[in-house]
Amino acid sequence: MTDVPLLQVEDLNLKFHLFEGVSHVLDGVEMQVRKGERVALVGESGCGKSVFVRTVLGLLNRRNVEVSGEIRYHGEDLFGLSDGQRRDLRGRKITMIFQDPVAALNPVFTIADQMTEVIRRGNPKCRSAEALDIARQALLQVSIDEPDRVLKSYPFQLSGGMNQRVIITMALINRPELVLADEPGTSLDVTVQEQTLRLMTRLTQDAGAAVLLIAHNLGVVREFAERVYVMYAGTIVEEGTVEEVFRDPLHPYTKALFAAVPRLTGGAMPRAIEGMVPDYTRAPEGCRFHPRCPHATERCKVPPPTLTMGPGRRVKCILHEGQAVEAVHG
Amino acid sequence: MAETLLEATALTKDYRVGNHVVHALRGVDLSVERGECMAVVGESGSGKTTLGNLVLGIEPPSTGTIRFQGRELPAKRGRHLRRRLQVVQQNPMSTLNPKRTIFNSVSLPLAVHRLVPRKEIRDRTAELLRIVGLSPDYMDRYPVALSGGQRQRVALARALAAEPDCIVLDEPTSSLDVSVQARVLELLVDLQQRFGLTYLFITHDLSVVRNIATRVMVLYRGRVVEMGSTESVFAQPRHRYTQMLLSSIPVVSEEEERIKPAWSWDKELAGGDRVSEVGCAFFPRCPYVLDECKTQRPPLEDVGSGHLAACHNPG
Q: How far apart are CA B178 and CA A207, in angstroms?
A: 32
A328 or B162: which carries more pLDDT confidence? B162
Burial class (CB in 10 A: 0-12, 13-18, 19+), A108: exposed
| Range with lowest mean pLDDT among A107-116, A248-257, B227-236, B265-274 | B265-274
Q: Which of A140, A165, A191 is the best substitution to test chain B (most B C-beta atoms within 10 A)? A: A191
Provide the shortest C-alpha distance from residue B78 to chain A (in Å).
36
- Which chain B residue's Cα is nearest to A273? B179
Residue ranges in chain A modelled with pLDDT below 50: 1
Q: Are strands A65-73 and A76-77 parallel, antiparallel or unpaired?
A: antiparallel
> Which residue from B minimizes the CA distance to A261?
B178
Instruction: Tell if the CB–CB gap between A143 and B270 is shorter than 8 Å.
Output: yes
Tens of pLDDT, residues B76-115? 888 889 999 999 998 888 889 999 999 999 999 999 999 9
**B268 falls in which pLDDT band (50, 70, 90)?**
low
User: Smallest Cβ distance to A261: which of B189, B252, B265?
Assistant: B252
Q: Chain A residues with CB inside 8 Å of B264's CB?
A: none
First to last CA, chain B: 31
pLDDT confidence of residue A1: 46
Distance to chain B for A236, nearest Cα, Å: 18
- Residue B269 burial by Cβ neighbours in a 10 Å radius (0-12, 13-18, 19+): middle
- Note the pLDDT of residue B191: 94
Determine the residue of chain A that is closest to B261 in CA distance: A264
In the prediction, which pLDDT does A2 show?
A: 54
With contacts defined as CB-CB under 8 Å, which chain A residues touch B252? Answer: 218-219, 222, 246, 258, 261, 263
Q: Check A189 against B268: CB less than 8 A apart.
A: no
Mean pLDDT score across all residues of chain B: 90
Distance between CA atoms of A6 and A190, rounded to whole angstroms? Answer: 32
pLDDT digits (tens, 9 = 90+) for B30-59: 999 999 999 999 988 899 999 999 999 999
> Which chain A residues have a beta carbon less than 8 Å from that of B181?
260, 262, 270
Q: Shortest CB distance from A260 goes to which of B44, B179, B255?
A: B179
Paired strand residues for A238: A230, A315
Q: Classify residue B163 by its DSSP letter.
A: -
Q: How far is A330 from chain B (nearest CA, A)?
A: 28
SS (H, E, C) chain A: CCCCCCEEEEEEEEEEEECCEEEEEEEEEEEEECCCCEEEEECCCCCCHHHHHHHHHCCCCCCCEEEEEEEEECCEEHHHCCHHHHHHHECCCEEEECCCHHHHCCCCCCHHHHHHHHHHHHCCCCCHHHHHHHHHHHHHHCCCCCHHHHHHCCHHHCCHHHHHHHHHHHHHCCCCCEEEEECCCCCCCHHHHHHHHHHHHHHHHHHCCEEEEEECCHHHHHHHCCEEEEEECCEEEEEEEHHHHHHCCCCHHHHHHHHCCCCCCCCCCCCCCCCCCCCHHHCCCCCCCHHHCCCCCHHHHCCCCEEEEECCEEECCHHHHHHCCEEECC
Q: What are phi and psi of B104, to 5 degrees?
A: -55, -45
Instruction: Yes or no: say if A169 and A138 are a contact pair by the CB < 8 Å rule.
Output: yes
What CA–CA distance (Å, rounded) separates B209 from A266?
9
Contact A216 B182 (CB under 8 A): no
Judge contact between B308 and B295, C-beta under 8 A.
no
pLDDT for position B5: 94
**Separation in Å, CA of A104 to nearest CA in chain B:** 19
Q: Decide: helix, strand or coil at residue B315.
A: coil
ipTM of the complex: 0.85
